[in-house]
Structure 1
Amino acid sequence: MYTTQLLDKVKTPLVNKFYKLHGASGRANKQDQVWVIYLDEQIVAACRVQHKSNFLFYPRFMLLKNTAQKG
């Protein structure tokens, strides 16, 4: 089952490991708001959100290829 969750700041290294494992550039830091989608207990998508002075910036969104178009 898919679940969406705002990641606790102390779990930021999990997203960086996810990015590295799947060949994505960039890193999340603790100032970012990080949303993840889990399939069971595995991260299958992650989105970083940075709060700028007048807008929200989404520098990275990653979805595993084998997860796309599955719901």
Structure 2
Amino acid sequence: MSMKFNFPSPDLQIGFALELKKFRSVYLQGALLETIQNLDVTEIDRQLAEYVCKDDLSTLAKFGLRGELLFPVPIVVA
């Protein structure tokens, strides 16, 4: 006996994923940058050195990016 499955169209999920991607780049990135602006950069750097692999930080630096943009260290999350 063979069964036939009817899967719903993925259009809704794809649309949601695309909208979420736009939302993240516009709103969440701005909130992160605003939060970082009010923090002690030397403490951010200390925590990045403690929690993040040096090679990963070097890879980001190669592209001119700081570690807190990708790695959620405690001072940024709190």
* Superposed pair shares fold, TM > 0.5: no
Q: TM-score, normalised by structure 1?
A: 0.27
The structure that is strand-richer by fraction is 1
